[in-house]
Amino acid sequence: MTEVPEGIVLDDGNGNTTTLAVGDTSFKFRDGQTYLNAGTTYNVSVKAQPKGYACTVDNPTAKTEANAGNINVSTVAVRCIGPQTNQTYVTYTGERDGTFGFQSLAMDKNGDYFVTVAFDLLRVDATGTMHRLTLLDHTTGIPISGLLVRNVAIGSTGIIYLSVQRNTDESALLRVRKTATENVYLVETMAESFIDASNQRKKFGLSVGMSIDGADNLYIADRTYNLIRKISSTGEVTVFAGSGTAGTADGTGTAAMFQFTGYISSLSHDASGNLYVQADYDRAAIRKISPAGVVTTISVPAGSDKPVADEAGNLYLVKTTSNGIPSIIRINTNGVTDVLVSRGTVTFDYAPNGLKANAIGYVQAMRISGGILYVAGSNPMAIYKIKL
């Protein structure tokens, strides 16, 4: 048996089990006792396994030839595919939900995921357990309910930022801090208006995407005004890129043009502070904005969206096929494209409610952290981890 992770429980097919520990290279059932007579059939199977691993047994079934002493079978082998390989596995799987699923995704340094489901903010802890949150007004302590959360981002200090929809054309940016009580958070409004070119104060337009850079500056895709807004960590609001007129022109700052649709669009930063924007659904292009606000267009395969970049500058996108099953492609810094996940194939660690589909559902959000690509989506609701 090759070395396997701790927590695997094996069954011998005769009602006996054994649990493996880290470093085990062999296993025994009913240690020290003779219980398999000549001709007895054993059928070793995996009864339980650690989350994130897919373990199988080679040569699991045979009959014994000895009837006494130490029966040593060397043909049975346990093999596991898990997070230390390039395989994809499910961290959390929920109900089948083709309507909403996970719409936005962020991770904190504790290994918790913050997701939006039907515009509601939820936390998925490192064990895969989902938690509903209690949000309190930071001044009055009164519970806040009914927030329509469109996007979530987490800064380097652990502060959670939310863009919430106020009405069909307006939104606000909230700052959320955890308390000493689990799942209880304090909420304050960070920004909900701006000064336009005519020196008039106006409400934020509808936010359809959000990202955060290494200095905790937030960037919002404003669908109402077709702008990329920058909000500093102190709440100062400026136009980072976009003229305010719908279009696709490149340029620097306000000379560039964007056209956002009603879909949740994708914004993501790389390690150098470049911002990648997917503005128009199903366009064969991604917009790249430098830290200085220079907007350029990157050609990508038609139908690609949800761009994220790793520390080396490789770009990852979702490429949806005609049947709706996505693949994940990678475009390296030389423009060479390869397929990271083909047609959404993924190994599930369990299948709730009889769900047997072996593919990533509709991808709504992707993030990269620590050499891992995190993918969240719907139908089924799941968070996947892909080791890069």
Residue type, 179: T
Q: What residues form DSSP beta bridges with 246?
A: 258
Between 67 and 77, where is the model more confident? Answer: 77
**pLDDT digit string, tens, across residues 101-144:** 677 899 998 889 999 887 889 898 887 788 889 999 999 999 99
Buried-state track 49-81, b at ≥16 Cβ within 10 A, e below 16: bebbbbbebeebeeeeeeeeeebeeeebebebb
Place of tokens 């056209």: 259
Mean pLDDT computed over 160-168: 92
Question: Following CA atoms 280, 360, 4, 46 in sequence, which dihedral angle do they give, to the nearest 10 degrees?
Answer: 170
Q: Taking 70 as the threshold, does the pLDDT of residue 90 lie above it? A: no
As a whole number of angstroms, the distance between CA 94 and CA 100 comes to 12
Q: Taking 80 as the threshold, does the pLDDT of residue 329 lie above it? A: yes
Mean pLDDT computed over 160-185: 93
Cα–Cα nearest to 7, from 49, 43, 46 = 49
Backbone angles phi, psi at 183, to 5 degrees: 70, 15
Mean pLDDT value across the chain: 81
Instruction: State percent of the chain over pLDDT 70.
Output: 79
The predicted model scores a pTM of 0.72
As a whole number of angstroms, the distance between CA 174 and CA 165 comes to 11
Between 136 and 193, where is the model more confident? Answer: 136
Q: Taking 50 as the threshold, does the pLDDT of residue 149 lie above it? A: yes
As a whole number of angstroms, the distance between CA 278 and CA 309 comes to 13
Pair of tokens at residue 142? 């009164």
Cα–Cα nearest to 50, from 18, 29, 71, 19 = 19
Mean pLDDT computed over 321-347: 79
Q: Is 337 exposed, middle or buried (0-12, 13-18, 19+ CB in 10 A)?
A: middle
**Helix or strand holding residue 230 (H, E):** strand 227-231
Least confident of 99-103, 185-189, 244-248: 99-103
3-state helix, strand, coil in the chain (%, to 5): 0, 50, 50
Cβ atoms < 10 Å from Cβ of 192: 15
As a whole number of angstroms, the distance between CA 158 and CA 176 comes to 9
Mean pLDDT computed over 260-287: 79
Q: What's the pLDDT at 88?
A: 47
Q: Taking 60 as the threshold, does the pLDDT of residue 353 lie above it? A: no
Task: Please provide the DSSP assignment of 64-83 as one string.
Answer: ----SS-----S-EEEEE-T
List the CATH code of the domain at 88-387.
2.120.10.30
Place of tokens 């905790």: 216
Helix/strand/coil for 335: coil
Q: Between the ranges 38-42, 282-286, 325-329, where is the mean pLDDT highest?
A: 325-329
Instruction: State percent of the chain over pLDDT 90.
Output: 31
Least confident of 33-37, 56-60, 316-320, 354-358: 354-358
Tell me where in the chain the CATH 2.120.10.30 domain(s) lie: 88-387
Give the β-pairing of 372-378 and 362-369.
Answer: antiparallel
Q: Taking 50 as the threshold, does the pLDDT of residue 19 lie above it? A: yes
Buried-state track 274-304, b at ≥16 Cβ within 10 A, e below 16: bbbbbbbeebeebbbbeeebbbeeeebeebb
